[in-house]
Structure 1
């Protein structure tokens, strides 16, 4: 389902109906734990938003039907599909308490082998560690008997790959703006010893015309700078030469190579290494045979060649990329202040940051009490209360840092978070890993 004006209007009408019903429910009174709708002459209180939602989830036939049909999970109403893969779908969701739009990656647990389950557990753990304005944030994991739902930040503008494929290359000015954000995001990952291993334009998403976010951590892993890896992951056109040599490799250098390919694609609209088969593509990459169009500035050409060095240790480091002439005077967004993944109850926590204190007040207004926080504290990301906390805190952090999102028309191709269904045949025939 596309986000057309008609669909948006229909969604608003549906939400208004629910809000009208909620307003009726909120006039009901509860006393000493009695159920909504009861009457009592003692002290009467209106239901909080959380209590109204809980009441509806337990008693409203419409909510029950939506849950049965898979149109509602936890605190989220599920809307149209954003993308799909071999074992997963990605759908838009709306958080019932905060009205935040999210992306929900839905995986069929019955189709996941042990290797895929390990990758999934690693993806969740790695995303939990990242808190940067240019990285998609994980809010919550909701699990049922048959499915697992990863609730993530939603970037409304679609893939950078889709825009370039449809509209052509970006200007160098726009490329500088976006690429500096990607560099800042990758620097944050590497500082946490997280290697992405699937950096590409298909995994870079517009949150606004001037803001992009790196997503899809399905192949990410933990690796210190002095450690080598042996699992070959990613998309062949972005694969570094060492990945084709059946030898161990240093993860950070593989990410740097992919960044070089990404920059080339941004400023030219084509890939530096192109071939009809993986075998021919492998030869091109190992031979290092590519050319850069003459209309690309000398400083940009120099940066691309400095990242696409065949010998991994010869490639520019993140620091050298940031100091390059082409990126001179560019802004590299800083990470958000580290935050508690779980909303520790006030009486058990150290001094809260300004953002955390503000988030607690919002939670309180929604009816989420200290007891709710205490009960959810041991469940990490697998708690609706924790998910609500992370959504509220992230919204506040973005507001305080001046991050502005939205204001983009929805692209025709909405396969943005997991675009493997429409991947090129070249990638489908790769001997490298394929993503979920």
Structure 2
């Protein structure tokens, strides 16, 4: 029967086929129990997936995938389409990245495996989350966090360059995401405006880790050309080995230039001319860009990787000093009794969060047996999918997804000096006229 693949007793941990229903606790197979006890949300859903004609039809035609109701298309890539979906139990919106397994060659499968591996190990407010992986014989579905606010490329193309404060807030979040990735020895390698998404509340989410790679340490050399040519660092055009972090840093410099000016720093009619511009580092910053921001761009877009700013230098630059985050963007190591106390409080909050999520799972109908048979670290388990969605809900209630703010004013000493000089000249002219 269609949908029958989703109903297997939980005594067998075959969660890749949505084996959640436990006939011993009032599942679809237990009609007497159905008539005597109210069904949980999970039991109703698994019953419908096995017996309800409308639900079964939706499963057959792809309007449902596992516990997700599929809606319209919101994006596409070379090997994938992205659709909006809703979790049938939690009602949360998710992005469903759909890949046709028949079209995936060996290289595409390797990239997909890296993408899943990278996303499994990254839990950061400014990186798109992977909730679940659903497999069918013909397709693979990545259930991802839904941002909902569009991407940076379309925003600038439609509305023009960002304001100075918006640039600060946006760039600081991208920088924090990449800092976190590099700390875990993951290199993005495809940073571009299309892969910077916004939530409806204005938070930034770095997406599309298809070209990401893990290195044993940040000094490991790489040799694969990845990413979009306008964002590619000079060393990528030289057919030589390269270091990962400086490549991501260069792409962030291009992104910053694009945000503050609304144009790309390197433009040419042909690929050959674009390659030459990038290798030479030929670009012009408009004079109206604030001085601290100009200095940051110049420090990033240096053709020699060793001379390029490191991520920590970028985080400490004058231009970003007014940016304040509502949460610590990088885990702090205990350095003092006070810090140990703060870490202890953080652990207590995490434990409370965990208890809250487990309580919500129980309310939906997940039993201790479900949790025992479906490890919460396995992305191919539907229990993990529900758990991660609920956990993210709890973290958002704690303010984890709130964007940073700009506080106060940081004066540019060079500009202040110019202003004082102009004021002095103006005063001199007034004295002459009088």
Superposed pair shares fold, TM > 0.5: yes
Q: Deviations over 1:173-220 (max 9, x none)?
A: 110011111111111111110100011111001103531110000000
Provide the residue aligned with 1:277 in structure 2: 270
Gaps of 5+ in 1: 1-29, 339-349, 406-436
Where does 1:389-408 land on structure 2 (aligned, <5 Å)?
A: 389-404=387-402
Distance 1:43 1:141, change over 3 A: closer
1:239 aligns to 2:232 (yes or no): yes
Give the corresponding residue for 2:186. 194
Q: Which has the higher contact order (CA 8 A, sep 6+)?
A: 1
Deviation of residue 400 (structure 1)? Answer: 1.1
Matched residue of 2:74: which SS?
strand
8 A contact 2:96–2:144 mirrored in 1: yes
Q: Which runs of 5+ in 2 are unaligned?
A: 1-22, 333-347, 404-434
Query: How far is 1:33 from its partner?
Result: 4.6
Judging changes above 3 Å, is the alpha-carbon distance between structure 1 residues 131 and 337 closer, same or farther for their aligned structure 2 residues?
Answer: farther
After superposition, the Cα gap between the structure-2 partners of 1:371 and 1:335, relative to the gap in structure 1 and judged at 3 Å, is farther
Q: Deviation per CA, 1:257-283: give whole Å up to 9, x if none.
A: 000000000000000000122111101
Give matches, 1:60-75, under 5 Å. 60-75=52-67
Match of 2:205 in 1: 213
TM-score by length of 2: 0.80
> How far did residue 37 of structure 1 move?
9.2
CA contact (8 A) 1:180 1:331 kept: no
Encode CA deviations 1:138-170: one digit per residue, 9 max, x unaligned.
000000001000000000111011010011000
Contact 1:208 1:404 in 2 (8 A): no
Q: Deviation of residue 295 (structure 1)? A: 0.6
What is residue 44 of structure 2 aligned with on the other side?
A: 52
Match of 1:264 among 257, 268, 273: 257
In structure 2, C-alpha distance between the alignment counterparts of 1:34 and 1:263, rounded to whole Å: 54
The counterpart of 1:92, out of the listed 76, 84, 87, is 84
The root-mean-square deviation of aligned C-alpha atoms, in Å, is 2.3
Maintained 8 Å contact 2:127/2:206: yes
Secondary structure in 2 aligned to 1:353?
helix
For residue 131 of structure 1, what is the aligned residue in structure 2?
Answer: 123
Structure 1 269/336 Cα, relative in aligned 2: closer, same or farther at 3 Å?
same
- Secondary structure, counterpart of 2:113 in structure 1: helix
Task: Give how far 1:86 is off.
Answer: 2.2
Query: Superposed, which structure 2 residues align to 1:387-426 within 5 Å?
Result: 387-404=385-402
After superposition, the Cα gap between the structure-2 partners of 1:34 and 1:311, relative to the gap in structure 1 and judged at 3 Å, is closer
Kindly indicate whether residue 156 of structure 2 is the aligned counterpart of residue 158 of structure 1: no
2:296 to 297, 303, 306: 303
Larger deviation: 135-144 or 396-405? 396-405
Report what 2:341 is aligned to. Answer: none
Per the alignment, do residues 78 and 288 of structure 1 end up closer, same or farther by CA in structure 2, a change over 3 Å counting? same
Provide closer, same or farther for how the CA distance between residues 336 and 98 of structure 1 changes in structure 2, counting only shifts above 3 A: farther
TM-score (norm 1): 0.80
- Change in CA separation of 1:37 and 1:143 when aligned onto 2, cut-off 3 Å: closer
Q: What does residue 334 of structure 1 align with?
A: 328
Q: How many residues align?
A: 364
Shift of 1:34: 7.2
Post-superposition offset of 1:402? 4.9
1:331 CA drift (Å)? 2.4
Deviations 1:289-328 (A, max 9, x none): 1000011011100000101111111111111101101111
Cα deviation for residue 102 of structure 1 reads: 0.2
Number of the residue aligned with 1:353: 351
Superposition deviation, residue 226 in structure 1: 1.6
Q: In 1, are the aligned partners of 2:280 and 2:303 still within 8 Å (CA)?
A: no
Match of 2:134 in 1: 142
Quote the Cα distance in structure 2 between the aligned partners of 1:311 and 1:404.
36
Compute the displacement of 1:38 (Å). Answer: 4.4
CA radius of gyration, larger in? 2
Residues 132 and 334, structure 1, Cα contact 8 Å, conserved in 2: no
Structure with the higher helix share, 1 or 2: 2
| Structure 1 residue runs of 4 or more that deviate by more than 3 Å after TM superposition | 30-40, 332-338
